[in-house]
Chain A
Amino acid sequence: MARTSSSGSSRRDVLKLAGLATAAGFGVRPAFSQSPGHVVVVGGGFGGATAAKYLRRAGVDVTLIETNATFATCPFSNTVLGGINEIDAITHGYDGLAAHGVQVVPDTVTGINAANKSVSLQGGTAVSYDRLILSPGIDFKWGEIEGYDEAAAEVMPHAWKAGAQTELLRRQLIAMDDGGVVAIAAPGNPFRCPPGPYERASLIAHYLKTHKPASKVLILDSKDSFSKQGLFQAGWAELYGDMIEWVPFSSGGNVARVDPATMTVYTDFDTHVVNVANIIPAQRSNRLVDTADLANGGDWCPINQLTFESTVQPGIHILGDASIAGAMPKSGFSANAQAKVCAAAIAALLRGDEPPSPSFINTCYSLVGPDYGISVAAVYRLNAEGAIAGVEGAGGVSPGDANAEFRKMEAEYARGWYASITSDMFG
């Protein structure tokens, strides 16, 4: 917040900024006069891109501020590690949102001034809002694993934000000799994408089985159980024999320390010298939220689960991984579903109406192999206490006794889900 003086920021600055953005070629300037207000969305990922699009559909003026010119999705980034897709296949631009009339501003928000309803940008401007949506995703708790900091992540990638880290880990897998050990350190709950580390182990094993069959994947886990565990383990045995070894917390799986110089991973009980180390550290909400104290001293941001409005600061709505959204897992599907409910709530609030009552779905597809898909699904609504809760009798995991044809269909539908959700966000 120290970067710019936001004291004089007003509608004028927004218009000025919008003018600049248009001049620079970032989209069409919407008709401010017909809109019930101006919403600033920070973060053009699963929550933010979806919210921007659905607010425009509701006739609201939207400015979307996103650091990067393109967005590489974490979903399907494991297929890049497995050599099934190139990074281009999971990288998306913002032209579609600009065509809907979203003002896309490529910049980084450095501070939130809740009192005068504005955000400050690295570029030096301030943008004011009637309501603010934050969907900035996660940050890592560096140092919780001794020796694991940002520099260490250049040797032992986390690849838990997709893009350069995904490509780094992919290059390391390609460079590894046959017979090597790939370690994956999986964090404790809660974290972004509960089945993610296990899908990753699967698709790395798929690559190794084809190219380096004497190699191993060693999952060192800070938990004693994980999402879709029975389905994953059955799939691993079927497709990869004993190539994947899972070490739970109680068997000393928790990684306490790493030494990138010697490629050593120290667990509570053992020392492993490995060839490739994918360290997925513990997570918290993106540190941007601290500029308005939105996590209230915790790791994640408490919200009103009807509107996604912060319970700490009025006028600021928080979506996706950064928020505490009842029983919903931290997934792209959840963030997308939450964004649509939040957009409808904000459109209603700006017009002085009651926010409509919400409904959500989450489904996490995972690929155990390219033709072997599994899923976990749930339908959610608000319970009597105002918390998002799963509808009883609905949802659950794919059947354990399904045949190969069924698993193949779910792999096809996983690809279909990816095409649909990315078009729902960016199209």
Chain B
Amino acid sequence: MRALLISIFGMCMLATAAAADETAPANLANACAGCHGTDGKSPGQIPMIAGMAAADLAAELRQFKNDQKAATVMNRIAKGYTEAEIDAIANYFGGM
């Protein structure tokens, strides 16, 4: 029974293994909510990013990524994203 389930499931996995190549903007942006709050609406000491214009947000992220702006943690995080991903994240928040 178990072997059967595994083999059927194996086929399902093949079918779903290939996700879209570019990381989905919502998946990129939702990870930020762990610190910045749902949709960037921070209830506490971390800066609010909801309502920021896409261009400003992208510019901030590039400054963090290139160590052009002092930060405690954003420099370490921004380095995890490509230029295209930074634009995708900025457009996602900016378009809310």
Verify that A and B bind, or say they do not. yes
At the interface, yes or no: B42 with Cβ under 8 Å from chain A?
A: yes
Closest A-B pairs by Cβ, 9 of them: A379-B80, A419-B44, A416-B45, A356-B24, A394-B80, A416-B46, A416-B44, A394-B79, A357-B19
Given contacts A391-B80, A395-B77, A424-B37, contact A415 B27 (CB under 8 A): no
Tally of contact residues, A, Cβ under 8 A:
56
Binary CB contact string for chain A from 404 to 415 against chain B (1 if under 8 A, 0 otherwise):
001001101101
Q: Give how many B residues have a beta carbon under 8 Å from the other chain's beta carbons.
A: 42
Of A142-150, A207-215, A227-235, A311-319, the one contacting chain B is: A311-319
Alpha-carbon gap, A410 to B72, bound state (A): 7
Q: Which of B17, B26, B33, B36 is in CB contact (< 8 Å) with A306?
A: B17
- Please report the C-alpha to C-alpha distance between residue A424 and residue B30 in the assembled complex, in whole angstroms: 10
Q: A306, B34: Cβ atoms under 8 Å?
A: no
State in angstroms the CA–CA spacing of A423 and B32 once bound together: 13
| Cα of A314 to Cα of B13 in the assembled complex, Å | 9
The verdict on B6 contacting chain A, using a C-beta distance below 8 Å, is yes
Within 8 A of A (CB), among B20-77: 20-24, 26-28, 30-38, 42-46, 72-73, 76-77
Given A293-B2, A358-B27, A396-B76, CB of A419 within 8 Å of CB of B20? no
Measured CB to CB, the residues of B under 8 A from A are 2, 5-6, 8-9, 12-13, 16-24, 26-28, 30-38, 42-46, 72-73, 76-81, 85
Q: Is the interface of A mostly helix, strand, loop or mixed?
A: mixed
Instruction: Given A377-B76, A421-B35, decide whether A313 and B5 contact each other with a Cβ distance below 8 A.
Output: yes
Please, which residue of chain B has its CB at the minimum distance from the CB of A412?
B45
Closest to A398 in B: B72
Q: List 27 A-B contacts (CB under 8 A).
A: A306-B17, A314-B9, A340-B31, A356-B23, A359-B31, A361-B34, A361-B35, A363-B34, A377-B76, A382-B19, A393-B79, A394-B81, A396-B76, A398-B73, A410-B73, A413-B45, A416-B46, A417-B34, A417-B44, A418-B44, A419-B45, A420-B37, A420-B43, A421-B34, A421-B35, A423-B43, A424-B38
